[in-house]
Structure 1
Amino acid sequence: MNDETAIKTSVCILGSGPAGIVLGNILLQNGIDCIVIDRYNREEIYARGRAGAIESTTIALLKKHGLADTILLKGYPHDRCEFRYPDDSFVLEYGKLSDGDVHYFYPQSDLNEDLIQKYIDAGGQILFHHEGIQLTQTDDRIIVECENKDTNTTLKINADFVAGCDGYHGLARQSVPANAAKVYTKEYGYRWLAILAAAPPASSHTLYGIHPEGFAAYMRRNSHISRYYLQISADDQLADWSDQRVWASLRQRLAKPEWILKQGKIIQKQIMVLRNYVIEPLRYQRLLLAGDAAHIITPMGGKGLNLAVQDAAVLAETLIGYYLESHELSYLDRYSEIRLPYIWRAQEFSYSLLNMVHLPEGSNPEDVRFLYKLSASKLAQLRTSITFAKNFARNYVGIV
């Protein structure tokens, strides 16, 4: 590979996912020059889209920066979810319990594409198909060496700071020395089978199935695409789950009298490893982590996308304050100080909800029976305790 001429910027953003592109938009609006690089091309980024449950707090942040218009125009507001058992069900109207706050369901791929276009239209520089290879820090700058995957050449970007928004497997997280941070992890003894189907909506709201065969869920994507999840064994392979078995399991675990599951062509199946991960602090010298580079959370409760956007907003405000008010480098510690309590609250909520609706882990029958009763007690409190239900609703629709 041949070196290209080095370029300079204030902030180099690794990754153009939700955290990176929100950060880029806000910095650009405030006159701070930045460059976004992403290892994928634009079409590949769009194809990696996931379901998007966007919280009220995230909507408020995006509105504040003029980034929420397409969500409000095209998204589906949701204010309730339903818990289904083999012989019973109940609907939780969390919008009413949280004083009118709702989710907007809008595909993450569409949101990301909207924000990429806004960034480009505003004059932002984004380098697609550029993969970060190495980060080098000095006292007064950080250098990003990246490969242009189209031309097989290298580019060096000299920056004041790097925002690592390139995910769990990206360069940023791997560039933090082991002795410079504490890492907290949790893995689960079961998996999710994630299903995307060209099928009409199964319901106007989210469904959670609590069943002796395992958890199941439905989450609306749009008027013709539906998202489903099934709890499966950690030993299961995709080959074990034929389309016929998938639909049969969904009908069984989400069953309700007079309810008919509308089937369609399954266009995607994948096995998801469920895990939690947090790194502390979120800054290593001139490198700051956001989104999946900083924390991984289970999909339960739909917190991942929202944490990423909220990270970006706080990181942007921190960097803006640093530049406008000429602070010392230590000022950037406030980013970790602000975000980590919210990240841990989201982790606790997702963990609690996951255990509330899944078959308990473990091989000891007595332990499993005990954990099952604890989960049943929490679910009962959603129906019988207004205090518990309001706290659940507030955390479900947006941690503040």
Structure 2
Amino acid sequence: LESGQPLHFEVSQAAVHDIDTDHPRVTFLDADGNSQAIDCDLIAGCDGSHGVSRPAIPASSSRIWERGYPYGWLGILAQAPPATDELIYAWHPNGFAMHSMRSPSISRLYLQVGLDDKLDDWSDDRIWSELSTRLGHESWELNTGPILDKGITPMRSFVSAPMRYGRLFLAGDAAHIVPPTGAKGLNVAVADAKLLADAIVASRAKRARTLIHTAGSVRFEPATMAGRHGSGGQDLLDAYAETALRRVWRCTHFSWWMTSMLHTDGDDPFTRELQLAQLRYLSVSRAAAQSLAENYTGLPYGW
């Protein structure tokens, strides 16, 4: 923004090129349909799970880990004041339920549903009845109201590595997806962005200071971004993929753990007792509760 370079919105046909060279480019059609090309020092691929950045990395150079879950979330927005100002995660034999809020007058609620369930299977009355069953408590009552919006979201865990290929750096959903149970998707994406931004700023500062004395003269030479030959900012860029993935896998594990603990998967009494044992442990052990809180609220940047 400070440089005054234009920002382009509503672009189409975006593509990245020459990411394994010193001169990567981004091409696209702008909002008026004009062809545009941007020459880059590096490219930050923050374009989500369906963007063009990750597919630009050759399949022979990437690895993917993925796990699907046999259920999804039916989420609703309701014109109903939240019944509490606290987030509620509920384990129930019928399946998981969650109470959250968007404003003093709008509630956001979720139900675990089957992968094959359709919105037509869930009338408003059925949704409220099941939410009341799963969230109900003798000393607490769920507020109801008109449902403004509803949708079903499948759940999966996904990690793609490396998060860097040549001059292309992946961040956020372009590199990883977690189920929403642990509320980590946005958090880990922001952590990626901060880690990469700090590395870029440090690298540019180092380039500006790089003076090479030769034959009694002084000349400027940009620091190379290939290999581990620099220090400071260059080291941060070289270490980005490995550093980011450490946090990604920690958050992936936490999200999987929360999901597996709170969602029912068929009539399996053994798994059910394991889930209840874990929930009891969290409710009585200070150490267990602290571990959950540390991961839920977010680990320090650079962890």
User: Which range, TM-score by smaller chain?
Assistant: 0.7 to 0.9
Aligned counterpart for 2:23 among listed residues 141, 144, 147: 141
Structure 2 residue identity aligned to 1:394: E
SS in 1 for 2:299: coil
Unaligned runs of 5+ in 2: 208-222, 228-233
Q: Tell whether the 8 Å contact from 1:132 to 1:171 is kept in structure 2 after alignment.
A: no
Structure 2 equivalent of residue 213 of structure 1: 94
- CA distance in structure 1 between the partners assigned to 2:50 and 2:166 by the alignment: 20
- CA distance in structure 2 between the partners assigned to 1:394 and 1:262 by the alignment: 31
1:132 CA displacement: 4.4
SS in 2 for 1:196: strand
Unaligned runs of 5+ in 1: 1-27, 34-122
1:395 aligns with 2:295: yes
If asked which structure has higher relative contact order (CA below 8 Å, sep 6+), I would say 1
SS in 2 for 1:211: coil
1:328 aligns with 2:210: no
1:197 aligns with 2:92: no
SS in 2 for 1:236: coil
Structure 1 equivalent of residue 263 of structure 2: 358
SS in 1 for 2:182: coil
Structure 1 residue identity aligned to 2:275: S
- The two structures, once aligned, show a CA RMSD in angstroms of 1.6
1:124 CA displacement: 6.3
The count of aligned residue pairs is 275
Structure 2 residue identity aligned to 1:353: M
1:239 CA displacement: 0.7
Structure 2 residue identity aligned to 1:168: S
Matches within 5 A, 1:268-347: 268-326=149-207, 327-329=223-225, 330=227, 331=234, 332-347=237-252
1:131 CA displacement: 2.5
Moved over 6 A (4+): none
SS in 1 for 2:42: strand
Matches within 5 A, 1:73-92: none
TM-score, normalising length: structure 2? 0.86
1:187 CA displacement: 0.5
1:159 CA displacement: 1.1
Matches within 5 A, 1:153-192: 153-192=34-73
Structure 2 residue identity aligned to 1:242: S
1:317 CA displacement: 0.8
1:176 CA displacement: 1.4
1:225 aligns with 2:106: yes
Percent of aligned positions that are identical: 39
Aligned counterpart for 2:277 among listed residues 377, 381, 390: 377
- CA distance in structure 2 between the partners assigned to 1:276 and 1:360 by the alignment: 17
SS in 2 for 1:221: strand
- CA distance in structure 1 between the partners assigned to 2:258 and 2:90 by the alignment: 13
Structure 2 equivalent of residue 261 of structure 1: 142
SS in 2 for 1:140: coil
- CA distance in structure 2 between the partners assigned to 1:132 and 1:314 by the alignment: 28
- CA distance in structure 2 between the partners assigned to 1:372 and 1:124 by the alignment: 56
For residues 255 and 124 of structure 1, do their structure 2 counterparts lie closer, same or farther at Cα, with a shift above 3 Å needed? farther
- CA distance in structure 2 between the partners assigned to 1:228 and 1:306 by the alignment: 21
1:260 CA displacement: 2.1
SS in 1 for 2:252: helix
Structure 2 residue identity aligned to 1:144: V
